[in-house]
Chains A and B, each alone.
Chain A
């Protein structure tokens, strides 16, 4: 799988580390609702379609990225810096 890093350009997946589901929303840290925290930590939808994921380009520019990837085909439709994704409200 080739991931097109916004800084380094196309690189082999061996340079990257998967860092988890980027679609989750962290609960309010003050929350003590165990169901909410359980869902945040453990529940995953695992859709057989386009999905947003955090990746770290540790073997290149060492930037955190958000990759939009179709899990069933591995086709990547978007790669952006995670900071830009977060500053845009996670959209």
Chain B
């Protein structure tokens, strides 16, 4: 399979940007070397599929809306009934899931080459993201590990909370450069660091 190239190109400029007097409100990163697989269960196999995901990844989540977990580079979260995003740093993630999930249980779709993952972290992360998405980012409404499916200017995005001040945002790869620029504009006010 072809090596994955960053879609950001010349727009990826490491260093400090925006409001210098404001310090570094958030840090922006593109997560690289990550495998991304969507697993969809049939209506009557959701619990079995979650068990299979657990056996393939070591990450077990509950069958409740938007629930998820983060374990180092690995994470799993639900974003619709019976639909789960499985993320890991191992290239064989898709094969492990396919071995654990037959078509009797559900479907496995590799999205590694179709999505770009941005990590945004820092004290001002909720403030910056609230400019872009019409959902509640406070921790009581969006707990650590949880996933959300929502829109940014009518374009689909997935978001997972990694810790109290860190989120991963999954956007379509063809939309990634535009979204990256928008993310930078939103963060200018608080000052941001690109790593």
Contacts and interface: CB of A to CB of B under 8 A. Distances in A.
Which of B80, B83, B136 has most A Cβ within 10 Å?
Answer: B80
B134 A60 contact: no
Interface string A74-89: 0000000100000000
Contacts of B141: 9
Given A7-B80, A11-B135, A59 B66 contact: no
A74 B85 CA distance: 34
A11 B134 contact: yes
Interface residues of B, number: 16
A59 B65 contact: no
Nearest to B135: A11
Interface in A37-90: 59-63, 81
Nearest to B149: A60
B123 to A, nearest CB: 25
Given A61-B81, A62-B80, A15 B150 contact: yes
B154 interface: yes
Contacts of B113: none
Interface in B141-171: 141, 148-151, 154, 156
* Interface size, A (range): 10 to 19
B80 A63 contact: yes
Contact of A8 (B66, B83, B154, B156): B66
Which of B134, B135, B149 has most A Cβ within 10 Å?
Answer: B149
B84 interface: no
B150 A7 contact: no
Contacts of B156: 59
Contacts of A6: 65
Interface in A1-23: 6-12, 14-15
B79 interface: yes
Interface of A: 6-12, 14-15, 59-63, 81
Given A8-B65, A63-B81, 12 more contacts: A6-B65, A7-B80, A7-B81, A9-B65, A11-B150, A12-B134, A15-B151, A59-B154, A60-B148, A60-B151, A61-B83, A63-B80
